[in-house]
């Protein structure tokens, strides 16, 4: 017998010419994965970190140009202190074991969000990884860390308002591109907007993630909890994206 996955793979294959350039992922379901196994929630976070490594290498090998991962939202501070402390260790652990693999795979690390409120050691680990991978010109691995999209938009509006009041720009200069240039994704240039958003664990919401940048993205909600997501799940999501995002008679299917 074939599982659903195998049937899906028999009937369709990935088109390497049409890989989504920017994939964003809401890595949901780590706590639920652990609870189902009668393990503490942090065991799910630990396993989830392994999944980050697997999916990063898989995405890079497929030719994805930007992988944005929602690691910690501005709302996650409301979780129990012990859980928050554990989460804050994860970027340190992640980079202490994974920077050589990132460099080997030519992956550059980027972070968006307010990292100034994170513990000193976490900030250092993040800054070191950004520096150590600065010369990599393959995939960008972009972590959304202490990020919230309304906060991002609020900062952008304030910054634009202050440019107007300083006389640097006129209200008439404010357009789509100018606003994009004030978002935390601005250093990604043309690649700032995800082609595909994946959310794991069955929840079908955007939850304050990339509200501006997701305007035209394909959205895929998959049932697996993040620790169960793997290279095969990523390929399946890309195959579905390609099926939906076909160009009909030269018209783009936006």
Q: Which residues inside 24-43 make contact with ligand V0D, applying CB under 6 A?
A: 27, 30
CA dist 73 and 229 (Å) reads: 20
Q: Is 203 left (phi over 0), alpha (psi -120 to 50) or beta?
A: beta
**CA gap 23, 206 in Å, rounded:** 14
Write a three-state SS string for 106-173.
Answer: CCEEEEECCHHHCCHHHHHHHHHHHHHCCCCCCCEEEEEEEECHHHHHHHHHHHHHHHHHCCCCCHHH
Q: Which of the stretches 7-15, 60-68, 90-98, 170-178 binds ligand V0D when contact is defined by CB under 6 A?
A: 90-98
Contact 55, 25 (CB under 8 A): yes
112 binds ligand V0D (CB under 6 A): no
Smallest distance from ligand V0D to CB 91, Å? 4
Cβ count within 10 A of residue 147: 24
**Residue with the two structure tokens 């991002």:** 152
Query: Which one among 71, 107, 140, 237 touches ligand V0D, defined by CB under 6 A?
Result: 71
Catalytic-residue membership of 28: yes
Least distance from C-beta 162 to ligand V0D, angstroms?
29
Q: What is the gyration radius of the CA atoms in the chain, in angstroms?
A: 19
Q: Which one of residues 90, 140, 184, 234 is an interface residue with ligand V0D (CB under 6 A)?
A: 90
CA distances for 29 relative to 36, 44, 165, 199, 228, angstroms: 10, 8, 45, 10, 9
Interaction residues for ligand V0D, span 150-209 (CB under 6 A): none
Piece of the chain touching ligand V0D by CB under 6 A; list 46-54, 168-176, 197-205, 241-249: 46-54
Nearer to ligand V0D, 79 or 235 (CB): 79
Q: Which of 76, 128, 132, 208 is catalytic?
A: 76
| Count of residues touching ligand V0D (by CB under 6 A) | 18
* Nearer Cβ to ligand V0D (49/183): 49
Task: List contacts with ligand V0D (CB under 6 A).
Answer: 27, 30, 45, 48-49, 52, 71-72, 87-88, 90-91, 94, 111, 126, 143, 145, 226
Catalytic residue numbers, as ranges? 28, 76
């Amino acid at each position: 017998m074939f599982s659903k996955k195998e049937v899906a793979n028999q009937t369709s294959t990935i088109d390497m010419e049409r890989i989504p350039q920017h994939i964003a992922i809401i890595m949901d379901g780590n706590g639920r994965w652990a609870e189902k196994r009668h393990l503490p929630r942090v065991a799910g976070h630990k396993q989830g970190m392994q999944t980050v490594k697997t999916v990063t290498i898989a995405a890079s090998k497929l030719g994805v140009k930007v992988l944005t991962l929602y690691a910690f939202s501005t709302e996650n501070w409301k979780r129990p202190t012990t859980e928050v402390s554990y989460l804050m260790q994860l970027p340190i652990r992640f980079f202490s074991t994974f920077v050589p693999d990132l460099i080997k795979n030519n992956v550059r690390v980027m972070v968006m969000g307010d990292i100034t409120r994170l513990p000193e050691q976490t900030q250092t680990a993040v800054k070191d990884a950004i520096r150590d991978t600065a010369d990599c010109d393959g995939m960008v691995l972009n972590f959304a860390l202490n990020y919230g999209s309304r906060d991002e938009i609020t900062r952008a509006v304030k910054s634009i308002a202050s440019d107007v009041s300083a006389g640097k720009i006129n209200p008439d200069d404010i357009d789509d591109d100018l606003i994009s240039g004030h978002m935390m994704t601005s250093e990604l240039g043309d690649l700032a907007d995800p082609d595909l958003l994946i959310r794991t664990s069955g929840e079908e919401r955007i939850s304050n993630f990339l509200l501006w940048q997701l305007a035209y993205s394909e959205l895929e909600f998959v049932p697996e909890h993040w620790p169960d997501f793997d290279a095969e799940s990523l390929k399946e999501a890309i195959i579905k994206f390609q099926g939906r995002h076909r160009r009909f008679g030269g018209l783009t299917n936006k």
